[in-house]
């Protein structure tokens, strides 16, 4: 029986293994459900932690440090005098602490039960499937039942001065921005579905994949465990921006897999765009828009390939099934500059768009899509 490799999973996720070790672990993960579950759990936490970021110190901090340095120098000069006063000072501080702390403690302990009973008296009702949690301004709502529960078929419409927040069962919440219109389409153990007819919504969902779905006039956004913003313009075109996890943007028969940091558009009439990272070059984005929506020719594909960075393999992977075979080989060559083909994946298979090989390649590429810029820089 093969031994589990759970101790290798953090190294695998953090790319701290040699190529040889990586492929051993990768192969094991494909075949071992236990290690795969462990991998997925760690990966979820790692993705969440990815939203932590460096923060600049306030400009005033040096002045504060400098002042502390001056104080330290002065206190050094005073230390001899202070040492003589220390016992008296300590006694005074202890006495003051008692005088302050005892009444506060008595107040808090006596007020405790009363506080608890006040909180309990306003006990919230159990969460409903689509409960209106908060509103700003006066959004128009139809089919609002008891406990502020939006029923199926209910419509919530905000104007320029209103917005709303809705809970989605126990799996997350959706914020509806001003000038937006949403409808509740369905709710069941298998799916919670709403429609965004126009405007902007922001969803934060923690749930198994495909449990939360948003229909738009041009596509449907299928949650794969994530947070995202979805925008629908007056013509029914959609724009998705994923901020955490993954979302699948789908039209009939087509699917774009959109990870955190990436965008994807769809046009009314069923045209589904190719996902791209928000920090891709302007030339790449322009060429991609031409390719997706203006029937751009082969030159646009060449531009996309030449402008692509390591993580733009997201865009390249999706383009594989949209371009003629000649361009497909150029894209594969570009991807091969970033990683070796996974075990069992061949160039021929990719040229033929073998589904298993495509998914295996995507699985390996995902690691590149989550690398953070500057992580390994010295400064």
Which residues lie near other proteins (CB under 8 A)?
6-7, 9-11, 14, 16, 41-46, 48-59, 61-66, 68-69, 72, 105, 108, 124, 126-127, 131, 133, 167-173, 202, 204, 206, 227, 229, 241, 243-244, 372, 374-377, 379
| For other proteins, the closer CB: 40 or 340 | 40
**Residue 170 vs 235, nearer CB to other proteins:** 170
Name the residue among 270, 238, 231, 248 with its Cα closest to residue 318: 248
HSE-up (13 A, CA, CB side) for residue 198:
10
d(CA 176, CA 214): 13
* Polymer length of the chain: 379
Min CB(290)–other proteins separation in Å = 28
230 CB-near residues (< 8 Å, 6+ apart): 196, 200, 201, 202, 203, 214, 216, 221, 238, 239, 240, 241
What minimum distance in Å lies between the beta carbon of 151 and other proteins?
18
* 79 versus 306: smaller Cβ distance to other proteins: 79
**Shortest distance, position 180 Cβ to other proteins, whole Å:** 14
Do the beta carbons of residue 247 and residue 236 sit within 8 Å?
A: no
Shortest Å distance, C-beta 321 to other proteins:
30
Residue showing tokens 């390939």? 305
In whole angstroms, the minimum distance from the beta carbon of 46 to other proteins comes to 5
Q: How far is CA 161 from the centre of its chain?
A: 27
Nearer to other proteins, 58 or 324 (CB): 58
* 8 A C-beta contact, residue 260 and residue 370: yes
Instruction: Tell me whether residue 200 or residue 335 sits nearer to other proteins (CB atom).
Output: 200
Q: Could you tell me the smallest distance in angstroms from the CB atom of residue 172 to other proteins?
A: 6
Choice between 244 and 315, CB closer to other proteins:
244
Distance CA(299)–CA(321), nearest Å, equals 17
Q: Which two tokens stand for residue 302?
A: 């060449």
Taking each continuous run of H as one helix and of E as one strand, the counts in the chain are: 10, 14
């Amino acid at each position: 029986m093969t031994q589990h490799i759970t101790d290798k999973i953090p190294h695998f996720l953090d790319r701290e293994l040699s190529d040889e070790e990586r492929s051993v672990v990768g192969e094991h993960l494909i075949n071992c459900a236990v290690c795969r579950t462990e991998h997925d759990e760690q990966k979820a936490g790692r993705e969440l932690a990815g939203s932590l970021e460096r923060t600049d110190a306030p400009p005033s901090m040096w002045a504060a440090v400098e002042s502390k340095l001056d104080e330290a120098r002065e206190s050094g000069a005073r230390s001899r005098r202070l040492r003589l006063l220390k016992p008296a000072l300590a006694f005074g501080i202890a006495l003051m602490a008692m005088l302050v702390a005892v009444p506060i403690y008595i107040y808090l302990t006596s007020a405790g039960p009363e506080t608890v009973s006040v909180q309990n008296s306003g006990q919230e009702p159990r969460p409903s499937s689509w409960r209106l949690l908060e509103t700003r301004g006066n959004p128009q709502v139809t089919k609002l039942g008891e406990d502020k529960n939006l029923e199926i078929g209910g419509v919530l419409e905000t104007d320029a001065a209103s917005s709303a927040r809705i809970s989605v069962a126990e799996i997350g919440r959706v914020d509806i921005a001003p000038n937006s219109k949403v409808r509740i389409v369905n709710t069941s153990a298998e799916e919670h579905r709403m429609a965004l007819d126009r405007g902007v919504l922001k969803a934060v969902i923690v749930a198994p994949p495909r449990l939360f779905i948003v229909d738009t006039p041009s596509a449907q956004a299928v949650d794969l465990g994530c947070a995202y913003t979805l925008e629908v313009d007056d013509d029914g075109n959609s724009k998705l921006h994923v901020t955490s996890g993954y979302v699948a943007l789908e039209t009939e028969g087509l699917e774009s897999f959109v990870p955190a940091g990436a965008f994807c558009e769809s046009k009314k009439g069923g045209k589904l765009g190719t996902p791209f990272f928000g920090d891709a070059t302007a030339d790449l984005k322009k060429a991609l828009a031409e390719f997706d929506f203006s029937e751009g020719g082969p030159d646009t594909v060449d531009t996309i390939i030449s402008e692509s960075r390591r993580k733009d393999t997201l865009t390249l992977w999706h383009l594989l099934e949209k371009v003629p075979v000649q361009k497909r080989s150029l894209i594969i060559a570009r991807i091969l500059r970033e990683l070796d083909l996974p075990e069992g994946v061949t160039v021929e298979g990719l040229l033929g768009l073998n589904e298993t090989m495509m998914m295996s390649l995507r699985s390996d590429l995902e690691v590149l899509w989550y690398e953070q810029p500057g992580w390994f820089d010295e400064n």
